[in-house]
Amino acid sequence: MHIAEGYLPPEQAAAWFVVSAPFVVHGSRALVRQVRADPESKLLLGAAGAFTFALSALKIPSVTGSSSHPTGTGLGAVLFRPPVMSVLGGIVLLFQALLLAHGGLSTLGANVFSMAIVGPWVAFGSYTMVRRAGGGMDPAVFAAAALGSLATYGVTVAQLALAFPDPTAGIVGALAKFGGIFAVTQIPLAISEGLLTVLVVRLLSRTSGDELRRLGLLRPAAEVRA
Amino acid sequence: MRRFSWVNLLLLLAVLLLAVAPLAFGLGSGEEPFSGADALAEQAIVDDHPDYQPWFSPIYEPPSAELESAFFALQAALGAGLLGYYFGVARTRQRQRDAAGRQRG
């Protein structure tokens, strides 16, 4: 989902910065509030950041014969809500742009929008919907991580299609082309990401029940619905 | 082994299987099998829009593929290390809480 450095026309790159900036500003405030209100959650916050840091470094082979990487933003979105992830995800993308030449500074706004904003919001929405529908913690977390990951790549496809319409088939053709590169590749990865996130949340519920309860998780499904 | 551990083990196995199966079945295609989707997208842009000039280039680029993979490994190691540290701390705290509870209880 990393759009390479310089691979968005300047006006579009700038536009994505304008779109993403308010989310990141709001997210930084939410992050500061979270740490002030509950200093003990700092370590768990670090763990959520570490999860997306580690997962987004892992390129995993997929059924399409290419490889891609998970995003790892679903965990933090479920634990700490999406605004916080706009900052943590942004830090990961900045690290990769500066040291790995992966993604880029000019495309940071666009990449933050897909991985650190839309992904976490879709994850949080999916989690909430499954819980309200009476689903348990594990299915809800799986849906959050997997759908958040797919949404991130869907946004990248749309961003690239807008910037580089197909010479003959236009934006629709470009959607199909970039979709072909990213979407099917990402399906098994999204499943893996969902399973890994479920694993981490299961371990958290064993070791950090108090923290999770303070964050409003671990309530029985019936209570969430009420 | 209790059910909790069994489920966790199965989750890990499923992830491994999903990653290994494409390799095992030799699904790799193209000149460089299992190249990154990001790079493929970049290539598609270059192919269809030969006149597009990237207007900004990375400030720093790892000088070789080896060093690039070293940075990726560093990123994964830092993330996994911190996550492992968290679980170590959380588990110890949990045990101390349990022990304190038993003494009182």
Q: Do B56 and A106 touch (CB under 8 A)?
A: yes
φ/ψ of residue A61, rounded to 5: -65, 150
State in Å, rounded, how far the first CA of chain A is from the last one: 37
Dihedral angle over CA of B87, B93, B98, B99, nearest 10: 130
Cross-strand partners of A166: A170
What is chain A's alpha carbon radius of gyration, rounded to the nearest angstrom? 17
For chain A, what are the domain ranges?
10-225
Q: Can you tell me which residue has the tokens 């303070």?
A: A214
Do B79 and A51 make contact, defined as CB atoms within 8 angstroms?
yes
Q: What's the pLDDT score for residue A220?
A: 61
- Chain B CB within 8 Å of residue A57 CB: yes
Band (pLDDT 50/70/90 cuts) for residue B67 is: very high
Contact yes or no for A199 and B12 at CB 8 A: yes
How big is the A-B interface in CB pairs under 8 Å? 179
> pLDDT tens digit string along A120-158?
999 999 999 999 999 999 999 999 999 999 999 999 999
pLDDT digits (tens, 9 = 90+) for B4-55: 999 999 999 999 999 999 999 888 777 788 888 999 999 999 999 999 999 9
Decide if domain A10-225 falls under CATH 1.20.1630.10: no
B73 and chain A: CB distance < 8 Å anywhere?
Answer: yes
Q: Which A residues in the span 129-188 are in contact with B, Cβ-Cβ below 8 Å?
A: 156, 160, 164, 166-167, 177-178, 181-182, 185-186, 188
Contact between A104 and B73 under an 8 Å Cβ cutoff? The reply is: no
Q: For residue A121, what are the contacts with CB-CB under 8 A and spacing of at least 6?
A: A77, A82
| pLDDT value of residue B97 | 87
Query: Does A44 touch chain B if contact means CB atoms closer than 8 Å?
Result: yes
CA distance A39 to chain B (A): 15
Interface of A with B in 3-42 (CB under 8 A): 3-7, 9-10
Q: How much is the ipTM here?
A: 0.92
User: According to the model, what pLDDT value does residue B105 have?
Assistant: 64
Low-confidence ranges of chain A (pLDDT < 70): 220-226
| DSSP secondary structure letter of residue A52 | H
What separation in angstroms does the CA of A107 have from each of A8, A90, A120, A122, A224?
A: 7, 12, 19, 21, 38
User: E strands of A140-190, at which residues?
Assistant: none
Angle at A64 between CA A63 and CA A66, to 5 degrees: 105
Written as one letter, the residue type at B77 is A
Preferred mutation among B6, B13, B47, B72 to probe A, highest tally of A CBs within 10 A: B72
Burial of A58-86, coded b for 16+ CB within 10 Å and e otherwise, reads: bbbbbebbbbbbbbbbbbbbbbbbbbbbb
Backbone angles phi, psi at A118, to 5 degrees: -65, -45
Cβ contact A3:A159 at 8 Å: yes
Instruction: Quote the CA–CA distance of A47 and A34 in Å, as a whole number.
Output: 15
pLDDT at site A224: 56
The whole-number pLDDT of residue B92 equals 94
Q: With an 8 Å Cβ cutoff, is B31 touching chain A? A: no
- Would you state the pLDDT for residue B55? 93
Confidence at residue A170, expressed as pLDDT on a 0 to 100 scale: 95
